[in-house]
Amino acid sequence: MPAPATVTLRPRGAARLRAGHPWVYRSDLASTGGAAPGALVRVADSRGKLLGSALYSSSSEIAIRLLTSRALAGPGDLLDLLRRRLQAALEYRRRVVRDADACRLVFSEADGLPGLIVDRYSEILSLQALTQGMDQPAVKEAVVAVLVEALTPASVVERVEPRIRELEKLPPRPGGPLHGELTRTVISMNGVRFHYDALGGQKTGLFLDQRENYAAAAQLARGEALDVCCYQGGFALHLARAGCKVTGVDSSRPALEMAEQNAALNSLPEMEWIEGNAFDLLKDYAAAGRRYDTIVLDPPPFARSKSTLATALRGYKELNLRALKMLRSGGLLVTCSCSFHVSAGDFLEMLSSAARDAHRSLRLVEQRTQAKDHPTVPSIPETSYLKCLIALVSD
């Protein structure tokens, strides 16, 4: 069997790998060595010194995703490595996940499995292969085999993101079961139950990265609560279960319909669900003099690239400014950002500026991030993206 092709890097790419980041951009390649799309390759610096083994993409700007600093001999070594990494990822979740039968089992680079996402929703596993390398049939088959043997799920369902497949120049295809047939179930997070559809909704179905933040918010929430960008009711249902009178707002009618079904599933008191744009609704509510004891802001990412950072921060500030004006003294603000390009420092400074403009005082109770099943690797800043600030507001 021929050895994997060798991709040679320019100095900047080699320095990036030596610093601990597994990505090399296409502009930092000196030679691809004739590597095929999605192939296992060896990576070397300009002097020919081995830097490790990686998966190669022929189309993505991220051309190299390093797997290991060792030299892998071929597909057999690759599959053995992936199996070991999968087992380690599952063991890590056994240690850190509590009070939930839904969690992230594999978080791509954070688990040494670049381009692979696996989430558990009770007896259903949801899988995403986001790169040419992870989309190889032999790789997916090996991944599914490990998952089925370790967890005996009713089904493993592949989620397909058409935009990602287009970027990776992978042929379009629908998602669907890779093992078993079940695609719908009910899951539990922190004692709150949710309907789950493996082929519907955003991401892989629910926002599992907020699971621990849902519980933290519910511990402090009180009174009349407004959940802005509530999606299928993650924060809203936790607040209602804690005794709050909750209004949930989202721009998606299907998401609100599912939130209403989730409320019924938990036998919660009647909740108000409003379809609307967050900016417009907060402006109207503030003008009408509405006041709340708890407000949650959990918008979609405003900064999808570094070039949109300034615009994103203005958007976050506008939402937070209006929310701060609508909170009663002693009220609770839970404000979130899932934009990687907005740093924790940027987000905190934005909130401080909004509080000054709103003439409100803040006491920061907690600075939180994503749940532990979405681990952060210090040398890979992209693995840390979610910010959640919980603050008490006074006059």
**Active site residues per annotation:** 338
Can you tell me whether residue 366 is helix, strand or coil? strand
Using CA atoms, how far residue 376 sits from 209, 294, 370, 381, 382, in Å, is 12, 29, 9, 8, 8
Of all helices (H) and strands (E), which one includes residue 41? strand 40-44
Buried b (16+ CB within 10 A) or exposed e, 22-50: bbbeeebbeebbebebbbbbbbbbeeeee
The pair phi, psi for residue 100, each rounded to 5°, is -160, 145
DSSP 278-304: HHHHHHHHHHTT--EEEEEE-PPPS-S
Within 13 A of 144's CA, how many CA atoms are on the CB side?
22
Tokens representing residue 25 in the block: 């951009």
Contact 294, 332 (CB under 8 A): yes
Residue with tokens 């621990």: 212
Tokens representing residue 61 in the block: 């700007």
Using CA atoms, how far residue 97 sits from 103, 107, 184, 214, in Å, is 7, 14, 22, 14
The CA angle 210-212-218, to the nearest 5 degrees, is 100
